[in-house]
Amino acid sequence: MSNSGNGLTFSVVVPSYRRPEPLCKCLVGLQEGVCLPDQVVVVLRDVDERSRQLLQQWCTANELGERVDVVLATKSGQIEAMNRGLGAAIGDVVCFTDDDCVPRPQWLQCLASHYADPSVGGVGGRDVVHHGEQQVPTRKCSVGKVTWAGKIIGNHHCAAVDAPIEVDHLKGANMSFRRVLIRGFDQNLAGGSSCLNDTEVSLSVTKQGFRLVYDPEALVDHYPAPRFGQSTRQLEALSLVSSDSHNWVYCMVKHLSGLRKIAFIASAFLIGMGNRYGLIKYLISLPRGPIAASRLFVASTAGKLKGLRTYRIARQTAMESETNGKRRGQSDAAT
């Protein structure tokens, strides 16, 4: 990468589906950067012919096009797209942004500057959210935290801090990681957009002893575009409440340990968070709308219970795989 100064190479992964015009604007933002990525991986669905055609035209007409690799996903879902992009990335650091985001000129340079510190495993920044001509107002607040009992605090879009800080998790629209630290995005996450996949992969990096840095100067402009199929932007849909609750419980139980895990499970089922209704929040909401509250509570509880089952099955599968691997190793040593 031009002017990276630390000898690392950088790949940028951009999953896209049926958003050819925003995708091209994203690529223009990358091309106008102070530092150019060594590789751009655009992941498209194999059925998205219009995006393929427009992307080919853009690559032919623009210098950055020589660095663009197109990967086709044959299955739907964000996890599939992210893993296909990750598999094609060749950089030492893999950066992720969305097709409805436009990186600002200093974006990649800001991300890259922190990787001179070998203890840093991932770096992300702020996404400035726009709705039409209006920029979403922000406030000073905590950013990128997971509380002791598993409450997730995002706020990556807020003007929360004035200088880089260490955080617990990054946001998918603006995040990067050392390639060797991420084996893939967890396919046990539910739903088409697989909410919390960014939190899960972030926690997997910190679990390995590396730090995550949030740099407020690593900016992308985010213009949330319509999603096709299930979307966590419409969390009133009961199926989405269920999958969101599933992912929250699965992710936290997977990465918390000891008393933190016990406290999280108790809090998740008794209190909840947002539309992930716990018993207390359900009872408080009953007077305002008993039918709606009951439906949310049932969907959320079902999702949480399924999240616990998913974790138990995944853990059992991992233990069996580890045991079989040791047996094969002992057998090979004996022969």
All structural domains of the chain, each given as residue ranges with its CATH number in brackets, are: 10-222 (3.90.550.10), 238-334 (no CATH)
Residue 231: what pLDDT? 46
Question: Which tokens is 258 given?
Answer: 């000891």
State the alpha helices, DSSP H only, in the chain: 20-31, 49-61, 78-88, 107-113, 197-206, 238-255, 258-270, 279-285, 290-334
Instruction: Please give the model's pTM, rounded to 2 decimal places.
Output: 0.91
Expressed in angstroms, the distance from the first to the final Cα of the chain is 48
Pairing of strands 174-178, 120-131: antiparallel
Residues 2-26 as b/e (b if ≥16 CB within 10 A, e otherwise) read eebeeebebbbbbbbbbbbebbbbb
> How far is 229 from 287, CA to CA, in rounded Å?
32
Residue 314: what pLDDT? 95
Could you give phi then psi for residue 167, rounded to 5 degrees? Answer: -130, 175
> How far is 179 from 327, CA to CA, in rounded Å?
30
> How far is 15 from 97, CA to CA, in rounded Å?
8
Residue 229: what pLDDT? 54
Mean pLDDT split into 10-residue runs, the chain, 335 residues: 71 96 97 97 96 97 97 94 97 98 98 97 96 78 94 90 94 97 95 90 98 97 76 65 96 97 97 95 94 95 98 93 73 64
Question: Of 38, 29, 13, which Cα lies nearest the Cα of 201?
Answer: 13
Per-residue CA distances from 17 to 78, 187, 241, 248 (Å): 10, 19, 23, 25
> How far is 68 from 268, CA to CA, in rounded Å?
43
CB 214 within 8 Å of CB 168: no
SS3 (DSSP) at 243 = helix
CB 232 within 8 Å of CB 195: yes
Question: Which tokens is 96 given?
Answer: 């992720």
> How far is 322 from 315, CA to CA, in rounded Å?
11
Residue 175: what pLDDT? 98
Residue 222: what pLDDT? 96
> How far is 7 from 5, CA to CA, in rounded Å?
6
- Other C-beta atoms lying within 10 Å of the C-beta of residue 300: 29
> How far is 67 from 56, CA to CA, in rounded Å?
12
> How far is 172 from 195, CA to CA, in rounded Å?
10
Half-sphere exposure of residue 195: CA atoms within 13 angstroms, side-chain side: 19
Residue 21: what pLDDT? 96
Question: Of 201, 250, 203, which Cα lies nearest the Cα of 242?
Answer: 250
Residue linked to tokens 């849909």? 237
